[in-house]
Amino acid sequence: MPVEPLEHTPASDGPRHVALIMDGNGRWAQARGLPRALGHREGVQALKRTVQAAPALGIKCLTVFGFSTENWRRPAEEVSDLMGLVRTYVASDLRKLEREGVRVRILGRRAGLPADIAQIIERTEASTAHNDRFLLQVAFNYGGRADIVDAAQRYADRVRAGEATGPLDEETLGLGLSTAGGPPVDVIVRTSGEQRLSNFLLWEAAYAEFVYQNVLWPDYGAEALADVVEQYRNRDRRFGGLTSAPALAAG
């Protein structure tokens, strides 16, 4: 059976959507003899720098991994520090994001979050919903497997309510994911030298490019992001077909 071509722009145009696994806050702090919490605090500064730098690099959407469904396994104090970062980031930057045309979307499960965080999330999404210059997606209490399970459950609920009938296809399941409606992920970046997904964007990663950078997240910024764009531009995205490079295709 013929397969629909995946929607994509050539790699040479640069990535529209960059997804970042912001890793290495703890090691950054440890290397300085500081508590891990300070690494997370510096991580917020790095996030601000990175969001600022993205539009000039032609990027239209950033998705960042802030807290995974597995991060609840960390000591209670660290979990509460990480929750606190949402408060800090939103309190210090929401006005600016609003003003600069950034739409903020939070991916992941709301259930289980402290009530004030859930409220902050809702307020942030509502107050930036009209913005369309740039999309910032923050994966928080997010797990790729949980997101796929939730999408399947949504579909099952719709079938039970008589709003949908089978057979289920990729497009329909995709509509139930928390990333639905956003641009396809072009490249997934992980900092700190680790090379794994850790349950980030499992579905969306299907044909994403991967870039691993040795920089620890608190040191991240414009330069490291520009390096991602450069690496991406030199990739040959095939999507299961043959090379997209015109010279090779002609030969």
Task: State the nearest-atom distance from the C-beta of 64 to Mg ion, in Å.
Answer: 14
> Is 237 labelled as part of a ligand binding site?
no
Nearest residue to Mg ion, by Cβ distance, number only: 23
Residue 199 appears among annotated catalytic residues: no
| C-alpha distances in Å from residue 202, one per residue of 5, 34, 163, 238 | 20, 33, 27, 19
Residue number with CB closer to ligand IPE (11 or 138):
138
Q: What angle do CA 208, 212, 216 make, to 5 degrees?
A: 130
Residue 90: closest CA among 112, 133, 123, 57: 123
Interface residues toward ligand IPE, by CB under 6 A: 21-27, 65-68, 71, 82, 192, 194, 196, 198, 217
What does 140 bind: ligand IPE, Mg ion, none (CB cut-off 5 to 8 Å by kind)? none
**Dihedral angle of Cα 16, 238, 245, 13, to the nearest 10 degrees:** 0
* Cβ neighbours for 48, distance < 8 A, ≥ 6 positions apart: 89, 93
From 13, 71, 132, 186, the catalytic residue? 71
Residue number with CB closer to ligand IPE (142 or 232):
142
Task: State the nearest-atom distance from the C-beta of 92 to ligand IPE, in Å.
Answer: 18
Residue 166 near residue 132, CB atoms below 8 Å: no
Residue 236 appears among annotated catalytic residues: no
Neighbours of 179 (CB within 10 A): 23
* Residue 23 interacts with Mg ion (CB under 5 A): yes or no: yes
Please report, as a single letter, which amino acid is at residue 214. N
Residue number with CB closer to ligand IPE (11 or 29):
29
What does 142 bind: ligand IPE, Mg ion, none (CB cut-off 5 to 8 Å by kind)? none
Instruction: Name the DSSP class of 45.
Output: H
Residue number with CB closer to ligand IPE (71 or 128):
71
Residues making up the binding site: 23-28, 36, 40, 68-70, 72, 74, 190, 196-198, 209
Name the residues annotated as catalytic.
23, 71
**Which residues would be at the binding site for Mg ion (CB under 5 A)?**
23
